[in-house]
Amino acid sequence: MSNAALRADYAQAVEQLAGRVLGVLRDTQAPLPAVSDADRPADTAALAAVRVLGPDLFAPALFRREPLPQPDREALGSALQAFPPHPDDSAEARWRDRTTAALLAHGTNGGTAVPYPADGPGAFGGAGGADAGEEAEDAALSWQERSRRMARLAPLALPEVDGPFQQRACRHVRALSRGAARSLMRRDYPTAARLVRWLALARSRGAAPALDLPTVLDHLRLWGGGGARTALDLTIAGRLLAGTEGAPR
Amino acid sequence: MTVHEPAEPVRATMLRTGTRALGWLNRNRGQLTFAGDTTAELAEPDSVYKPLGELALAASLVLRDDPFHEADRRAARDLLDFAWDQLRGGDLLYERQLRFPAMTDPLETYVHFHRAGHRHEPLQALLAHLTGLASYREYEHVPNRRMAVANATRVIGIDDRADWPARTAATWLGATPEPWTMDWMTAYHVTHTVFHLTDWGAEPRGLPPHVRDYLATWLPVWTDVWLEIEEWDLVAELLLVDACLPEPAHDPAAWRRLAAAQHEDGLLPRDGRTGTEDPAVRFYNHYHTAVAAVTAATAALSRSGA
């Protein structure tokens, strides 16, 4: 299979899984889990999709303040075992996987056996955090660089999850607002949706984005295209905003 | 992470871009010559008349802000005097204003010559009368052009009766709209609202605080977007807007990219698509970008300190 065909396969698997998580998130009556026993991912593309969405699989449970169903837990465990940490992983992939691992470990007896540090940074204010070098590098980012990085880390924008990136989102709402406006002007709606998701998280934690988020969300729902992953980002952003306004979550 | 290569100071980039654009305008000014039988009716006002006014704007700001070297100052004076001669020492403006009392373009053109010391007393008397008329002040221009009339009125020393807050509120920028809805045409409306509110960078405090804060947040985004698609004319105008802010950013990367688009002879293409080869249309297609680059460099240098 060519690289292009592989990428298309992965992208399709991500869209399918995002659609399933979205279905659970939207229909409050639908039973969890997102990854059902019947269609548990078996092939590599499906496992890769589980890894890529990672923390997003927790979204329905986190909004309901319920534990993650066991089938989802097992699917995530399998994905992290199939894709152990690799020196070539991007910083963003590392943080995403560590956050997944930390979420998996949370609230379980002894955690789930995955090849990632269970007390990894990025979730629940865990013991780990960004080291000084990483903080210095982050502080020097332009608004464009910060927006690119945070767009790739959008699955970390979830309720109840805290760590360096969630705190940076709150500190740098102007940079992320600029990034979202830039993406909207360039009609790059997937990136805009990811940044708006971060801004909604920051708003839910008391920060004041420079954009009127409900208006931007409306616009993205109408113009953003039919992608399930973008729809998932927008739905999570909407739920975060609804929580901000005191609505039931 | 941005890779910080050794780069010339941004002031050097501004100076080089601005003076080369000025030199190019001055060397090619002969393209803007009226036919011998031209009357004040001006069948095609955009062909020579409007560009002459824009040349005069750029030259008058160089003379007002004095950011370049002495030779460039002389070039600006030459350019201004050339345009004034073409307008027959202001007689053409006077005749046009007499012929069309409702039109405001004679005032909007005259102001640049007035700024640089030229006077036409009969025209000045007409304008003192006309700007006292509600009809003239309230001519149904787009809102930012009404501000052009108001600014020109105050610059030529006539009692300015404009309600500036109301005029500002009537513009797109005055409403500080959703910044991501910005488009190319709106961007030009925004730049001109800022130019007139601040008299081309002379009065940064002319920007109301909410407009100032809005621009400080969103101008970098708009500049980034139009840099990416090589809309050099608009980029130059946006850099001029930056120079009109109370705290300009003087983004070195944006200035460097604009400078990199400039040809050896000083021509600055208006965008990355329009050809620059055909000598017959070369000047007309690109003169406005040179005007914008001269004014942006002038304002930016005069506001960035030594």
Distance CA A150, CA B278 (A): 46
DSSP readout, B75-144? HHHHHHHHHHHHTGGGHHHHHHHHH-TT--HHHHHHHHHHHTT---HHHHHHHHHHTTSHHHHT----HH
Judge whether B185 is closer than 8 Å to chain A, CB to CB: no
CA distance B213 to chain A (A): 11
Q: What is the mean pLDDT of chain A?
A: 86
- B241 has pLDDT over 50: yes
- Does residue B46 carry a pLDDT above 80? yes
Residue A110's pLDDT is 45
The average pLDDT across A39-53 equals: 82
Mutate which: A144, A185, A215, A216, vs B, most B CBs within 10 A: A185
Give how far Cα A147 sits from Cα of A152, A201, A208, B149, Å: 9, 15, 17, 41
Query: What residues in B contact A215, CB-CB < 8 Å?
Result: 178
Q: Which residue has the tokens 């616009």?
A: A219
**Distance (Å, rounded) from C-alpha B215 to C-alpha A178?**
12
- pLDDT score of A197 more than 90: yes
- The total of other beta-carbon atoms located within 10 Å of residue A21's CB is 24
Confidence of residue B136 (pLDDT cuts 50, 70, 90): very high
pTM over the 0.95 mark: no
A201 phi and psi, to 5 degrees?
A: -60, -45
d(CA B120, CA A102): 78
Q: How far apart are CA B148 and CA B108, in angstroms?
A: 7
**B114-134: per-residue pLDDT in tens?**
999 999 999 999 999 999 999
A143 touches B at CB < 8 Å: yes
Residue A70 scores a pLDDT above 90: no
* Region of residue B266 (left: phi > 0; alpha: psi -120 to 50; beta: else): left
- Going by C-alpha positions, the residue among A11, A16, A83, A88 that lies closest to residue A47 is A83
Q: Which two tokens stand for residue A90?
A: 């991007």
pLDDT of residue B1: 44
Q: Which residues are CB-neighbours of B29 under 8 A, at least 6 positions away?
A: B55, B79, B82, B83
Answer whether A64 touches B (CB < 8 Å). no
Q: How far apart are the CA of B300 and the nearest CA of chain A, in angstroms?
A: 22
Task: Please name the member of B179, B218, B225 whose beta carbon is closest to the beta carbon of A186.
Answer: B225
Per-residue confidence (pLDDT) for residue B40, from 0 to 100: 83
Q: What is the residue-averaged pLDDT of chain B?
A: 94
DSSP class per residue in A84-115: ---TT--HHHHHHHHHHHHHHHTTSSS----S
Q: Kindly state the tokens that stand for A190.
A: 């997937």
CA B67 to chain centre: 16
B4 interfaces chain A, CB cutoff of 8 Å? no
Task: Note whether A223 and A191 are within 8 A (CB).
Answer: no
Question: What domains sit in chain B, N to C, each tagged with a CATH number?
Answer: 10-31+44-303 (1.50.10)
* Nearest Cα to Cα of residue B171 among B191, B190, B152, B154: B190
- Tabulate helix, strand, coil % of chain B (nearest 5): 65, 0, 35
Residue of A nearest to B229 (CA): A186
Cα A91–chain centre separation: 15
A130-175 residue pLDDT tens:
778 888 989 999 999 999 999 999 999 999 899 999 999 999 999 9
pLDDT in tens, B78-104: 999 999 999 999 999 999 999 999 999
Q: What is the mean pLDDT of residues B258-272?
A: 97
Q: What angle do CA B153, B155, B161 make, to 5 degrees?
A: 35
Decide: B51 and B283 in contact? Cβ < 8 Å. no
